[in-house]
Structure 1
Amino acid sequence: MPDFSSLLHGPGTWALFFFCAMLIGMSKTGVQNIGTVTIPLFALLFGAKHSTGIVLPMLCMADLLAVIYYRKKFHRGLVIKPMPWALMGLVVALILGDRVPESSFKIMMGGCILLGVVTMVGMNRSENLDKIRASRWFAPLIGFVLGFSTMIGNAAGPILTVYLLAMRLPKFAFVATGAWFIMILNYLKIPLQIFVWDNVSWAGFLLSLTALPFILLGGFIGIKIVHLLPERQFKLLMIVLTVVSTLFLLI
């Protein structure tokens, strides 16, 4: 059996790892974008590119939890429309990510998140939201950036939030639709990261399994928060957390 314990050193790193797992659970079941905070933390623990392979099984477990809980509330059409473009972005990121050094990979991760933040703030202030949403370029652009950013650094949260905010979905449909979209992409990424990037290992998978109780705990907390938190504060929290995590990653 692979020695997954060697991937982390000391109680402090284990505590940080489990804390991040809890945040992933929360992000999938309600507090979207809080999971973005974990991206620079995982990069600190494992390295930017290697961390995406360790985190991917955790994301897949959390995705499944969210999809099961919100299974009757998602909007199928909003998942299907940008999906072809997301797959295209995923392939482009797969090619680029296999050719760039670790330092450039980290910058690309931060750039994807920052683009999502800027777009999200701009959409919040736009008086022409309906016009933007109906435009021909919106779904293809959003889809491509979603696929690219989720492949580069599991960093699709801000872009996905932009898309779902533009659709003006009710709160639970917002969470459910996002969970389905990202789950499809994450499960498609598994063979790509195993056979192309070679950054998903048995040791990393076993390490992810140790985080399952904390993912479930975070999922429970996320469900409670999405029921309790008012819409306005919900949006503000997502934006603030995303900005902070982006700045941390780019330092």
Structure 2
Amino acid sequence: MIDFTLLQWLLLFCCAMLIGMSKVGVPGVSMAVVPVLALIFGGKASTGILLPILMMADWFGVGYYHRHAQWKYLWRLLPWAFGGVGVALWVGEVVNDEWFKNIIAILVFICIALMLWKDRRKGNRFFPDTWWFAAAMGILGGFATMIGNVAGPIFAIYLLAMRLPKNSFIGTGAWFFLIINISKFPLHIFVWKTIDWQTLKLDLILLPGIALGAVLGVWLVKKIPDKTYRTFVIVVTALSAFLLLI
């Protein structure tokens, strides 16, 4: 597990940095991590590598924005999200790794499309504040986060639909993903068996990369135009996801 080439180590630390950046307001950047890790470890195994990294990074967001969370939206969404996690858990047991990688790639493409569509519809908030919309977003988000840790754009669309202000948006999202990721942790250990002491050791080695990414993320948000950066992230992510399909 720890015996990687120099290039693989560089890619792993870059992935850790991108996760750290995503937790301090760099939108969509963590999407590129999912297909890269799937190429290195395989589809299903990569989810167990990524989950503890996400959990460590989640604490950055919760620690700073926890007071701004809107819990009524979390209680509305979480039961459905747990249902989506359950469906994904079953799917992960019945498909082989090749199909697992294909599902991850398809979900990444769907999430990219949702990101682009969300950008085009900015200001046009016409989503209904109803139980069935929360159910649909919860199940889809739960499935996406269990299969490939790619539920960010789905959850973002739900919170935007609820017209939450910036701090509440970040705080509610931080708590949602921390709760969901903690609930997924034992499933990866005992059901999928994608997390063990070796994978956790690797995740801890990457912790400095997460912290460095958080620092760089704050700097990049100030320096790089948002439109240019988002375009770069989307293109790189789409190319990485395409590699999973070939």
TM-score under structure 1 length normalisation: 0.87
2:241 maps to 249
Matched, 1:114 2:109: yes
Higher mean displacement: 119-128 or 201-210: 119-128
Alignment length (residue pairs): 243
Q: Give the drift of 1:112.
A: 1.8
Q: Give the drift of 1:109.
A: 1.0
Q: Give the drift of 1:221.
A: 2.9
Q: Structure 2: which 5+ residue stretches go unaligned?
A: none
Task: Report 1:33-52 matches (<5 A).
Answer: 33-52=28-47
Task: Report 1:189-200 matches (<5 A).
Answer: 189-200=184-195
1:159 maps to 154
Task: Report 1:171-210 matches (<5 A).
Answer: 171-210=166-205
Letter in 1 for 2:204: L
Cα separation, 2, equivalents of 1:234 and 1:141: 29
2:86 maps to 91
Q: Give the drift of 1:50.
A: 0.5
Q: Structure 1: which 5+ residue stretches go unaligned?
A: none
Cα 1:94–1:17 change in 2 (3 A) is: same
TM-score under structure 2 length normalisation: 0.88
Higher mean displacement: 136-145 or 120-129: 120-129
Q: Which among 19, 22, 36 is matched to residue 24 of structure 1?
A: 19
Cα separation, 1, equivalents of 2:151 and 2:61: 16
Letter in 1 for 2:190: F
Q: Which among 102, 105, 108 is matched to residue 100 of structure 2?
A: 105
Classify the secondary structure of the residue corresponding to 1:82.
helix
Percent identity for Structure 1 against Structure 2: 41
Q: Which among 41, 51, 56 is matched to residue 56 of structure 1?
A: 51
Cα 1:195–1:127 change in 2 (3 A) is: closer
Matched, 1:168 2:163: yes
Cα 1:71–1:223 change in 2 (3 A) is: farther
Q: Give the drift of 1:199.
A: 0.7
Q: Give the drift of 1:120.
A: 3.5
